[in-house]
Structure 1
Amino acid sequence: MPRKHKTLPRLFIDQPLATGDQLKLEKAPSNYLVNVLRLNEGDEVILFNGQDGAFRATLVNGSKKAAQLEVAEQTSAQTPPSQIDYIFAPIKTARLDFMVQKATEMGVNALRPVQTQHTQMSRINYDRMRANAVEAAEQCEILNVPTVHEAQTLEKLIANWAETDPERKLIFADEETDVTDAAKALKPLGQSKVAVLIGPEGGFSEAERELLRAQSFCVPISLGPRILRADTAAIVALTLVQSNIGDLR
């Protein structure tokens, strides 16, 4: 995507956007614009909300607690949502931050944590996950911020799949699969909706692997001959998917 207005800071706001709007910001984004970015009245910023595209706006009131912006023209139309969801077993905080940021940069539509038998992290800071996704979108000029879902068990995810998302294929990284050519396994999926599943640091249990293999909607792939950490595996798997059936083709 060509960069537009790359010298201007970008700010995600959870408000509707349209040319001519006068927006009053809450304390946190006001503080960010005035104290962190040190914008003055008359300075410009790019706004986006994940729904209406991107707009150029001017700071008209530099209050640190309730800054006001005047919305000018639209600079980018809203991009369509990705067909790729990312499902993962939560990992330690710093590496989870990294993984969420990279998954956002790779263009996923949703972040869906699951609890597996070997998952080490049971508590998830959803606000932090959301903030990391927003930050990555702001820095990389992404207009779609992934939806953050609450965690569920892998068994419940599988049991409800046909009811909640019957058209979506589930691609899972299986270190014991006989399917060594990931590209060959992925290409038949074409333009299908997909989800990429990365297991915990200790891998899936044998029972979980058998459960996944038994599902007609599941597609096992290998990520190569090396043992990868979960955050690295996420990047490799999403790259394989995007380069074979996604927008990196």
Structure 2
Amino acid sequence: MPAPPAPRVPAPRTPAWPPKSAPRLFVEPALAAGERRVIEGNPAHYLARVMRVAPGDAVILCDDETGEWAARVADVDKRSVTLEIAERLREREDVPDLWLCPALLKKDRFDLVLEKATELGAACIRPVLTRRCVADKLNPERARTIITEAAEQCARTALPELAEPVKLDALLADWTEDRALFFADEEGGESAADAFCYHDGPAAILIGPEGGFDEAERAAIRAHPAARPISLGPRILRGETAAIAALAVWMAEAGDWLDED
């Protein structure tokens, strides 16, 4: 009897490059293919000491301008990592023209707002100071670090703009009717889902502090021609919960979640 045919051995698969597990970093200035980029400071420590990259390893870079790039480690020194930019993987993402205007909260709670607003795709974060705010200052360097790390962890290719905190009366005075100001009012308003679903154009969501807006602030907001009071449901939400919930509803009803297959 003839010998049975030898089993077919599939050819080994070429590993995907860059691997999904490659570390990600946002860098400045804009990147270009063929460039050598020296990474220093905390990012270099992260690559060399935490991720333990070695020559030939992949690193994914984003510059918040041109998109996402694959790079190879060329050299690892005590205080720096040299990368060779290989190719662009993705264009910088388009995000809905939505601003989040959250009242300042206690540090750990506002950190959560910054992180989740970044993950959910807010285009701009404009902190607001109100009469009942417990906090009155924001460390911009720390805030940008939180935003950048959140964007790296969720594979964003764009960073939300971070504005300096501004008092509520100044925010309203400079606001134009071109951008709808959806005001999360504890006393009620149109359902957020309904309001967002039928809106087309630039928008912002205004969220109050731990103690809510006082009566004078609420009246001033409602009197503004761009303001649209909305309800986030039958329960009173904490400031950080309201911000996250409102952004999630927006992305589901009017944002870029609608573009997913």
Residue 189 in structure 1 maps to residue 199 in structure 2: yes
Q: What is the rounded CA distance, in whole Å, between the counterparts of 2:55 and 2:245 in structure 1?
A: 44
> Which protein is bigger by CA-based radius of gyration?
2
Q: What is the rounded CA distance, in whole Å, between the counterparts of 2:195 and 2:42 in structure 1?
A: 46
Corresponding residue for 1:225? 234
Q: Per the alignment, do residues 178 and 12 of structure 1 end up closer, same or farther by CA in structure 2, a change over 3 Å counting?
A: closer
Corresponding residue for 2:254? 245
Q: Secondary structure at the match of 2:256?
A: coil
**Equivalent residues, number:** 241
* 1:1-249 correspondence to structure 2 within 5 Å: 5-162=19-176, 166-179=177-190, 181-190=191-200, 192-249=201-258
Q: What is the rounded CA distance, in whole Å, between the counterparts of 1:46 and 1:151 in structure 2?
A: 32
Percent pairwise identity: 40
Q: What is the rounded CA distance, in whole Å, between the counterparts of 1:119 and 1:216 in structure 2?
A: 25
Please tell me whether the aligned partners of residues 28 and 65 of structure 1 are also in contact (alpha carbons under 8 angstroms): no
Q: What is the rounded CA distance, in whole Å, between the counterparts of 2:39 and 2:22 in structure 1?
A: 18
Q: Secondary structure at the match of 2:221?
A: helix
Deviant stretches of 4+, over 4 Å = none
Please tell me whether the aligned partners of residues 111 and 147 of structure 1 are also in contact (alpha carbons under 8 angstroms): yes
Q: What is the rounded CA distance, in whole Å, between the counterparts of 1:137 and 1:145 in structure 2?
A: 7
Q: Secondary structure at the match of 1:189?
A: coil
1:82 CA drift (Å): 3.0
Structure 2 residue identity aligned to 1:35? R
Q: What is the rounded CA distance, in whole Å, between the counterparts of 1:215 and 1:38 in structure 2?
A: 54
Q: TM-score, normalised by structure 2?
A: 0.88
Please tell me whether the aligned partners of residues 19 and 58 of structure 2 are also in contact (alpha carbons under 8 angstroms): no
Q: Secondary structure at the match of 1:219?
A: strand
Q: What is the rounded CA distance, in whole Å, between the counterparts of 1:82 and 1:125 in structure 2?
A: 26
Q: CA RMSD in A?
A: 1.4
1:177 CA drift (Å): 2.3
Please tell me whether the aligned partners of residues 99 and 124 of structure 2 are also in contact (alpha carbons under 8 angstroms): yes
Structure 1 residue identity aligned to 2:216? A
Please tell me whether the aligned partners of residues 95 and 256 of structure 2 are also in contact (alpha carbons under 8 angstroms): no
Q: Which stretch has the larger CA shift, 113-122 or 36-45?
A: 36-45
Q: What is the rounded CA distance, in whole Å, between the counterparts of 1:114 and 1:36 in structure 2?
A: 36
Question: Structure 1: where are the runs of 5+ without partners?
Answer: none
Please tell me whether the aligned partners of residues 27 and 64 of structure 1 are also in contact (alpha carbons under 8 angstroms): no
Q: TM-score, normalised by structure 1?
A: 0.93
1:237 CA drift (Å): 0.6
Please tell me whether the aligned partners of residues 60 and 69 of structure 1 are also in contact (alpha carbons under 8 angstroms): yes
Q: Secondary structure at the match of 1:25?
A: strand
Structure 2 residue identity aligned to 1:217? A
Structure 2 residue identity aligned to 1:88? P
Question: Structure 2: where are the runs of 5+ without partners?
Answer: 1-17
Q: What is the rounded CA distance, in whole Å, between the counterparts of 1:32 and 1:186 in structure 2?
A: 40
Corresponding residue for 2:15? none
1:64 CA drift (Å): 3.2
Q: Secondary structure at the match of 1:67?
A: strand
